[in-house]
A = this chain, B = another copy of it.
């Protein structure tokens, strides 16, 4: 697999046994930086296999397994994606649409108790929590795998980043990529998770494009510096749009942008399309507000709906990794 991605950072030669050990050590999915390059490649290979599994109607292989969706904040798209992934694998689903309406949970005091109990009922628990660190608290007490499906504005959303990266990987080598990550980056957990993943590949360059007050937080920047990843902070899309291979947009809540042109200044529209590379990739985790014009949808470079479809395959693949322990 490494051979099919010659641009990967040089990794020590690895064997199936080593990958197997890495998979065995993957108990919970909390942060995207947990994933090594070989593990990512294993995940992506499995994801491609899942495209074929879904095309022939799914499998019954995991029909004894139960996934629980514990969403303290509603997210129909992400929840349905995980649940459909479990169904396509043959499994069952326990589901909360918005667990925080159960008042004794709002305070968050009882997350640990809930997890300890629910681990008796499910084989894997997908948690969306209101606060950064929620998924890790869950993992600390859980007897079954925890998957972080977003934990607060300043947390992570690692499976989103995995499917984002898979979407890019399906189109071109990951080494040497030039990526613009645009939007409300200070609260962008998908942007944060993606930055951690991109840092694992050679010669990547990241442009963080946001109004100065909404720029990427120092913890990520320090991580990139530590890992020798080139990055730039930009406040104007125009200065980077011509040179990047990937335009990764994230939602901007218009009320948070105060300058004269407002959030629209960070939006992609038909004018900006003309300035992009002819083979650029446009990604967005969706939902969108004003930052992604509908006229972009028909452009062949717009990959965000394929990105959503890829979420199914990547999450199926990830579930098999977590559930395949003996």
Does the CB pair A120–B308 fall under 8 Å? yes
Residues of B contacting A288 with CB < 8 Å? Answer: 110, 113
Residues on the B chain within 8 Å of A309, using CB: 120
Q: This chain: how many copies in the complex?
A: 3
Check A7 for interface membership: any CB of B closer than 8 A: no
Cβ-closest chain B residue relative to A102? B74
Near B by CB (< 8 A), chain A positions 97-134 give 97-99, 101-102, 104-105, 110, 113-114, 116-118, 120-122
- Given the complex of chains A and B, what is the CA–CA distance between A206 and B311 in angstroms? 51
Q: A114-B77, A121-B81 are in contact. Are A57 and B64 (CB under 8 A)?
A: yes
Whole-angstrom CA separation of A80 from B309 in the bound complex: 27
Task: Tell yes or no: A83 within 8 A of B by CB.
Answer: yes
A258 at the interface (CB under 8 A from B): no
CB distance from A122 to the nearest CB of B (A): 7
| Residue A84 at the chain B interface, CB threshold 8 Å | yes
- A272 is an interface residue with CB less than 8 A from chain B: no
Q: Which 7 A-B pairs have the closest CB atoms?
A: A57-B64, A84-B121, A74-B102, A120-B309, A117-B308, A87-B92, A80-B94
